[in-house]
Amino acid sequence: MAFSLSKKEIVKEIVKSGKDPQYFINNYCRISHPMHGLIPFKTYPYQDDLINDFNDFRFTVILKARQLGISTISAAYAVWFMLFHRDKNILVIATKFSTAANLVKKVKNIMQYLPDWMRVAKIKVDNRTSFELSNGSQIKAASTSGDAGRSEALSLLIIDEAAHIDGLDDLWTGLYPTLSTGGRCIALSTPNGVGNWFHKTYIAADNGESDFKPVDLPWDVHPERDQAWFEKETKNMSRRQIAQELECNFNTSGDTVIHPEDIAWLQEQIVEPTYRTGYDRNFWIWEKYRDGGHYLLVADVARGDGADNSVFHVLDVAKMEIVAEYQGKPSLDMYAQMLYSAGMEYGKCLLVVENNGIGISVFEKLKDMGYENLYYSVKGTHEFVESSLGEFMNNAIGGFTTSTKTRPLIVAKLEEFIRNKIIKIPSARAFDEFRTFIWNNGKPQAMRSYHDDIIMCLSIMCWVRDTALEVSQKDLEYRKAMIDGMYMKKSVMNTTIKGQDGYDADFETKYKEELSHARNFAWIFKG
């Protein structure tokens, strides 16, 4: 193009490009297309808007579908930023070092394919994962180790696939001060569940609670994609993959223990509590005790280090609905008193206390307070033992023990109840935990910096309901059937001998009549 431009025109183009990154990218940047080779970079409207956001806002967080060219547009912006500004320091990090290095490679390629006269700064130092221009601007890829970029003053930080970077919360804590002198940040990613740095950052931005500019780019922002394209693309994709790769849906994208569709169903069950009571107003009540109701109370006791909460739930066993829930940080004495009061309020219901750690102290306090309907089990088996027997059995332990062996079993029971829509959980607090309860190396647990106290309490509840209470109910039914089958006659047996004083002459006749009557109905007693 240089041959057609005069020196004056070249200067004019350089000045115009330096002022307007959108103009620069659309007129002078070229990219490698997998099918068509080297082609001019002609941006779509959503990409133009994104360029303006990069320029107008210091921090941009982009929730995107795949294959929208967002990494490429970020690379093109980085070219403009380096070329027309002196001494700029750009750092690229990603879920893998190779991914970050690939973005740096895109920047280098775009730079090399510019017209010679447009390259107002030349590549001075060229390495595989970094390069420096003659104007002092530089860019490099870095791993996501804890010290990435900490010692540098950054002009622009690009975080690619941010939702998939483990430990980004801690990494951001170290990187943020490096941007304090006016540095910018572009964070882009497909969603990967909730609770990670990317999700929290985007939600905060969307709520106007941070300096980030939120940008939402689902699959249909691309002008060449229609419903037919979507149906073809998703033909062999799972619901989770569609949510993650195309729909930009946080709630249904992550590797949560509870299936995303079931989490969506749980969200539909959320109801504001009828009462918020207790000293901290954290005792939520949806339904008070009803006459004739059958209830179960399960309590999880905090470890005592202040990091987690004590939790308890009250279940209406017949309706399989959570009717009350508490979450807070009371003292052990106060918590035991709360459990005693709640148990008495709901008909002296069976009270199950997780006995791990200091939980056994709460159990003993409840015993000392005289609560009569406490959960016991046979040590090592979790076989239910009634309270009246548990106190005197050598192999019975008070409360429920959660271990590495029982944890996956009780969580699986909760998942089964939710999957089959057996239990109704109206709590918004529970829903928040379900969204961050994930598989981590095959283990069900809360995401880092999140809690699962409510979930574990619910898990124990479902296990007890499906084991102890089920067995107990069957036992009651057997006893009732036995009692109903018993024949009792209110009469006094005549034990006098014929000829003795007091002998009833009519007794033999009456006895024969009774014997004949019994024989007529002998079929009742067969078997």
Beta strand 59-64 with 212-217 is parallel
Architecture label for domain 2-253: 3-Layer(aba) Sandwich (3.40)
Nearest to 198 by CA among 59, 77, 104: 59
Structure tokens at 119: 């390259």
Burial per residue of 222-248, b for 16 or more beta-carbon CB atoms within 10 angstroms, e otherwise: beebeeeeeeebbeeeeebebbbbbbb
- Residue 202 has phi, psi (to 5 degrees) of -65, -45
Count how many residues are written for the chain. Answer: 527
- Residue 225 has phi, psi (to 5 degrees) of -110, 130
Q: What is the pLDDT along the chain (527 residues), one digit of tens a residue?
A: 445 788 899 999 999 999 999 999 999 999 987 777 789 999 999 999 999 999 999 999 999 999 999 999 999 999 999 999 999 999 999 989 999 999 999 999 999 999 999 999 999 999 989 999 999 999 999 988 656 666 678 999 999 999 999 889 889 998 999 998 899 999 999 998 888 899 999 999 999 999 999 999 999 999 999 999 999 999 888 877 888 889 888 866 677 899 888 998 999 999 999 999 998 999 999 999 999 999 999 999 987 666 789 999 999 999 999 999 999 999 999 999 999 999 999 999 999 999 988 899 999 999 999 999 999 987 766 677 776 676 767 777 889 988 888 888 899 999 999 999 999 999 999 999 998 898 877 788 888 778 999 999 999 999 999 887 654 444 444 444 544 554 444 444 444 444 545 545 565 565 566 556 555 544 444 43
- List CB contacts of 254: < 8 A, sequence separation 6 or more: 191, 192, 193, 194, 240, 244, 260, 435, 438
Q: Where are the domains of the chain?
A: 2-253, 261-471, 494-527
Helix, strand, or coil here: 506? Answer: coil
Its pTM stands at 0.64
Burial per residue of 18-55, b for 16 or more beta-carbon CB atoms within 10 angstroms, e otherwise: eebbbebbbbbbbbeeeeeeeeebebeebbeebbebbe
Rounded to whole angstroms, the Cα distance separating 396 from 254 reads 41
Among 3.40.50.1370, 3.50.50.60, 2.40.160.10, 3.30.420.240, name the CATH number for the domain at 261-471.
Answer: 3.30.420.240
Q: What angle do CA 133, 138, 144 make, to 5 degrees?
A: 155
